[in-house]
């Protein structure tokens, strides 16, 4: 395609939202008009599915749940007056709580004010808040936030050691819908112990975001925590950023949550248009379908050319992969759907993996995130007439051109600046695109059976660990791994037992291993009191 034709195609397929100042350019995706025509019936169904979802239909049939994250930014859409009031009151509760923290009506027992926050969560309860914090938190926030988003002991130690002297003025947020998810529960227990070690009352500095009457809700109320904030069962973890999960930590950092909600609401209105060409989320979903042949045949590479948006690719990784990556479709057919998502940031990508993207295997399509505003204020020149921001813009455009010349498809999403409104709009844009794509490929985009399977398998390993330890304790002589497996009644789990023993031995947990470590079958195991 020559330059004149390409310029015309750019104009034909450029979407612009005047109110948000947002552009979407899909002109460098290789679809043609015939492809768009074949997609129209699929999108007619997708638009109807989405309208039903917003109206309160059971959009998550496996769990018999409504899917209501769109109501969070426009309570008038909620299907009942009770739900509408619940949403309105939830936002008011957040704002009232933050106001009391700011004016020190709510403060720690032994410090004049809260200076830090520990946010404990996993998955959507961490990725969304982390992304928004990185994108929007002031350089000097009123309260610095630290995330415990794993059950990694060294990672927890790193956070606790970092704020050890400020634990006395730290507010702890534990986020878990059920209250029984191991990772946030474990993080909470570790933080509780750190408070106890400093003779601090954890309950007087703790709040919970959880389901009503969940294990965590009951615990928090029984121990007298400062407050609890509800998580509704119609909001999934990966779409919970605009609920209390994301809004409360953001507000405590001084981020304008009303602007985030407004940006999302405006984008929701734009993506409610039942026409592919005038709906940015539909344009994204169509582009994904084209690139992946509706079967996940290519990966999505996300490259934000702005440091503050670095975590957007991680946020999208969960949103897209957990929503679309499904073994079965809604009719029960084995389909193995999904789109793999990964990313870095520009122009760091230029010195990381663009070499392969340009010249290597063509198993991907790209999404560039462009921000027009370089910084607040005027940039100094680094060369005559050239600033750092000019370089960044040139590198984005040059990289896209170099990739296009080698037949690599790409999308560009452009926002005027990184602010609460545009971040809210980005979140809403991709939430809707994922919902549309789920309908296009006929999968339930709102459950995660694979995640649940992993949790069950992990629980089985921990149960086996207890039995193995008992076998070793009861033994009079050292036992081989095979003997332990037999006595535990699980000879088929010998490899898992060996790896469990190795882990326990490495951590001084009463297990002593002797023998040739290169030949696990030769090892003998005995119990040592710790």
Which has the higher per-residue pLDDT, 63 or 440?
Answer: 440
Do the beta carbons of residue 464 and residue 488 sit within 8 Å?
yes
Helix axes 244-252, 257-270, angle to 10 degrees: 140
The SS3 of residue 526 is strand
- For 93-120, what is each residue's pLDDT tens digit? 999 999 999 999 999 999 999 999 999 9
Residue 57 phi, psi (nearest 5) = -65, 160
Active site residue 405: no
The domain made up of 69-255 has a fold known as: Rossmann fold (3.40.50)
Active site residue 351: yes
- For 268-320, what is each residue's pLDDT tens digit? 999 999 999 999 999 999 999 999 999 999 999 999 999 999 999 999 999 99
CATH architecture assignment, domain 3-57+265-445: 3-Layer(aba) Sandwich (3.40)
Quote the radius of gyration of the chain (alpha carbons, Å). Answer: 26
Give the pLDDT mean for 155-162: 98
- For 346-362, what is each residue's pLDDT tens digit? 999 878 888 999 999 99
* Catalytic-role residue among 351, 376, 407, 456: 351
Active site residue 322: yes
User: Edge-to-edge strands of the sheet including 511-514?
Assistant: 479-480, 524-527, 511-514
What are the structural domain ranges in the chain?
3-57+265-445, 69-255, 450-527
* Catalytic-role residue among 100, 204, 218, 455: 455
CA distance 324 to 303: 20
CA distance 53 to 57: 5
CA dist list (Å): 336 to 227, 319, 328, 436: 42, 17, 6, 18
First to last CA, the chain: 72
* Catalytic-role residue among 54, 241, 322, 370: 322
Residue 133 phi, psi (nearest 5) = -60, -50
Identify the band that residue 179 occupies on the pLDDT scale cut at 50, 70 and 90.
confident
- For 192-243, what is each residue's pLDDT tens digit? 999 999 999 999 999 999 999 999 999 999 999 999 999 999 999 999 999 9
Q: What is the model's pLDDT at position 74?
A: 98
What is the DSSP pairing of strand 206-210 with strand 524-527?
unpaired
69-255 and 450-527, same CATH topology: no
Between 78-82, 447-451, 514-518, the lowest mean confidence (pLDDT) is in: 447-451
Residue 62 pLDDT exceeds 90: no
Residue 530 pLDDT exceeds 80: no
Give the pLDDT mean for 163-182: 95
Q: Which residue has the tokens 């507000």?
A: 251
Q: What is the model's pLDDT at position 351?
A: 82
The domain made up of 450-527 has a fold known as: Arc Repressor Mutant, subunit A (1.10.10)
- For 306-332, what is each residue's pLDDT tens digit? 999 999 999 999 999 999 999 999 999
């Amino acid at each position: 395609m020559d330059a004149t034709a390409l310029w015309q195609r750019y104009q034909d397929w450029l979407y612009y939202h005047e109110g948000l100042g947002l552009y979407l350019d899909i002109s460098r995706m290789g679809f043609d008009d015939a492809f768009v025509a074949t997609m129209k019936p699929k999108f007619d169904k997708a638009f109807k599915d989405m309208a039903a979802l917003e109206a309160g239909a059971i959009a998550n049939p496996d769990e018999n749940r409504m899917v209501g994250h769109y109501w969070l930014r426009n309570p008038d859409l909620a299907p009942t007056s009770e739900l509408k009031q619940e949403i309105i009151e939830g936002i008011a509760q957040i704002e009232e709580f933050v106001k009391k923290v700011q004016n020190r009506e709510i403060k720690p027992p032994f410090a004049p004010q809260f200076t830090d926050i520990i946010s404990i969560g996993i998955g959507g309860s961490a990725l969304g808040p982390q992304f928004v914090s990185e994108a929007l938190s002031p350089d000097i926030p009123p309260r610095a936030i630290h995330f415990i988003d794993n059950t990694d002991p060294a990672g927890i130690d790193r956070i606790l050691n970092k704020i050890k002297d400020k634990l006395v003025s730290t507010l702890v947020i534990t986020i878990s819908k059920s209250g029984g998810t191991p990772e946030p529960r474990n993080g909470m227990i570790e933080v509780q112990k750190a408070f106890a070690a400093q003779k601090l009352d954890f309950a007087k500095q703790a709040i919970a975001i959880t389901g009503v009457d969940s294990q965590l809700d009951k615990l928090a109320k029984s121990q007298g925590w400062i407050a609890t904030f509800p998580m509704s069962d119609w909001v999934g973890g990966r779409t919970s950023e605009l609920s209390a999960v994301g809004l409360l930590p953001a507000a405590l950092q001084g981020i304008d949550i009303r602007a985030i909600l407004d940006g999302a609401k405006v984008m929701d209105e734009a993506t409610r248009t039942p026409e592919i060409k005038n709906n940015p989320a539909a344009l994204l979903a169509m582009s994904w379908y084209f690139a992946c042949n509706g079967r996940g045949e290519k990966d999505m590479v996300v490259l934000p050319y702005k440091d503050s948006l670095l975590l957007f690719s991680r946020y999208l990784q969960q949103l897209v992969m957990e929503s679309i990556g499904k073994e079965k479709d809604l009719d029960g057919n084995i389909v193995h759907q999904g789109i793999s998502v990964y990313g870095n940031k520009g122009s760091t990508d230029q010195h990381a993996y663009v070499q392969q993207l340009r010249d290597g295997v063509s198993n991907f399509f790209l999404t560039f995130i462009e921000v027009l505003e370089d910084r607040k204020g005027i940039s100094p020149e680094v060369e005559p007439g050239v600033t750092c921001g000019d370089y960044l813009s040139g590198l984005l455009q040059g990289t896209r051109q170099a990739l296009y010349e080698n037949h690599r498809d790409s999308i560009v999403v452009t926002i005027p600046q990184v602010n609460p409104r545009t971040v809210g709009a980005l979140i809403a844009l991709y939430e809707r695109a994922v919902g549309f794509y789920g309908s296009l490929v006929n999968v339930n985009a709102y459950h995660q059976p694979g995640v649940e399977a992993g949790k069950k398998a992990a629980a089985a390993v921990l149960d086996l660990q207890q039995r193995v330890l008992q076998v070793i304790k009861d033994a009079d002589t050292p036992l081989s791994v095979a003997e332990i497996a037999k006595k535990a009644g699980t000879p088929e789990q010998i490899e898992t037992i060996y790896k469990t023993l190795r882990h326990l031995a490495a951590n001084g947990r009463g297990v002593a291993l002797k023998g040739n470590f290169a030949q696990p079958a030769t090892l003998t195991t005995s119990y040592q009191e710790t």
